[in-house]
């Protein structure tokens, strides 16, 4: 078991289903395995962690022509099928510009 960060952003390349499926290609997290735990890093919400869960299984397929045209190195498209997904009540921001959700430095405690 490993810990992963799945980035969520506005994109129309891959058919993600929040809380159900995370789709990515071989230019990214190729070592994801069944049983890995993940955090969603949501770039749509000011660079915030928004949920956690587990990878239940993985499937792979050949990329479509559109997916292949994005980056020439795309050879395989993976789908992480998710389970035990828990959304945070409020996103935890890790943006250095946000005061919401940020922790204070240890030396100021």
Q: For 46-98, what is each residue's pLDDT tens digit? A: 789 999 999 999 999 999 988 888 788 889 999 999 999 999 988 888 877 76
- Cβ atoms < 10 Å from Cβ of 55: 22
The domain ranges of the chain are 3-89
Tell me, what's the pLDDT at 109? 46
Architecture of domain 3-89: Beta Barrel (2.40)
Does 106 score more than 60 pLDDT?
A: no
More confident residue, 8 or 37: 37
The mean predicted confidence, pLDDT, of the chain is 85
Does 99 score more than 70 pLDDT?
A: no
Tell me, what's the pLDDT at 96? 75
pLDDT category at 24 given cuts 50, 70, 90 is very high
């Amino acid at each position: 078991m490993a810990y992963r960060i799945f980035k969520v952003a506005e994109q129309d390349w891959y058919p993600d289903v929040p809380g159900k499926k995370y789709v990515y290609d071989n230019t990214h997290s190729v070592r994801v395995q069944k049983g890995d735990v993940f955090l969603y890093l949501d770039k749509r919400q000011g660079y915030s962690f928004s949920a956690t869960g587990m990878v239940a299984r993985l499937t792979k397929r050949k990329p479509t022509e559109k997916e292949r045209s994005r980056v020439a190195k795309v050879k395989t498209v993976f789908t992480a099928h998710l389970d035990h997904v828990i959304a945070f009540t409020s996103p935890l921001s890790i943006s250095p510009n946000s005061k919401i959700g940020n922790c204070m430095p240890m030396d100021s405690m």
